[in-house]
Chain A
Amino acid sequence: EPEVTQTPSHQVTQMGQEVILRCVPISNHLYFYWYRQILGQKVEFLVSFYNNEISEKSEIFDDQFSVERPDGSNFTLKIRSTKLEDSAMYFCASSPRTGVSNGYTFGSGTRLTVV
């Protein structure tokens, strides 16, 4: 069964450093997403991406965050200057086309720890 792959599974970084979280969405999917989950809390939407541009973003997705699809397979989330409160699980997801009922698959996540 196709899956969304995320790397690394765990990243530790110092406050103020830049991090890049990587995702390989399912190959025939067209929409890509990032969500985050702070420990013990609910999953929160960050951003969606389609046709090489951001479709929607939440208030969490401020100027410190950016997304990129650098090639035909990867989808990345960059945090420019990490803060302690950025520590969370970050989940990538992808879906095949408009209409989320057509399949919306999450990766296993990257646990980001900012120290």
Chain B
Amino acid sequence: GESVGLHLPTLSVQEGDNSIINCAYSNSASDYFIWYKQESGKGPQFIIDIRSNMDKRQGQRVTVLLNKTVKHLSLQIAATQPGDSAVYFCAENISNTGNQFYFGTGTSLTVIP
């Protein structure tokens, strides 16, 4: 069962530094993953995705790494900016069970100017 009253992991970085946000997913059958950014009062916003047949994917300033052996995802943000401050969630999808996503607990990133 799930825990209640989850405490959100937090990460504080200096502006300009690189950020690494980690996520452990639960289901070895998951084959598609998305990192979402959620700013206060807003819905999850797509950042980058990766399929299970890949171990790395790069976007603009962001890189996602996937380690299926240990069921671990990471999001790397290069040259972090104040606008990157938000809560970041990983979400997993199991393609043969439907279109729903299962979200992780999230990490709150604070960028210090």
**A101-B32, A108-B41, A108-B43 in contact; A43/B89 too (CB < 8 A)?**
yes
A residues 43-61 touching B (CB-CB < 8 Å): 43-45, 48, 55-56, 58
For chain B, give the interface size range.
Answer: 20 to 34
The answer to the question of B51 belonging to the interface, with a C-beta cut-off of 8 Å to chain A, is: yes
Asked if A40 contacts B6 (CB within 8 A), the reply is yes
Asked if A41 contacts B6 (CB within 8 A), the reply is yes
**A40-B5, A101-B49 in contact; A33/B105 too (CB < 8 A)?**
no
Interface size of A by Cβ–Cβ distance < 8 Å?
26
The answer to the question of B25 belonging to the interface, with a C-beta cut-off of 8 Å to chain A, is: no
Choice from B5, B42, B99 contacting A48 with Cβ under 8 Å: B99
What would 6 A/B residue contacts be, using CB atoms closer than 8 Å? A40-B6, A43-B89, A48-B98, A98-B99, A100-B93, A108-B43
B contact residues vs A (CB 8 Å cutoff): 4-6, 8, 32, 34, 36, 41-46, 49, 51, 89, 91, 93, 95, 97-106
A contact residues vs B (CB 8 Å cutoff): 4, 31, 33, 40-45, 48, 55-56, 58, 91, 93, 95, 98-101, 104-109
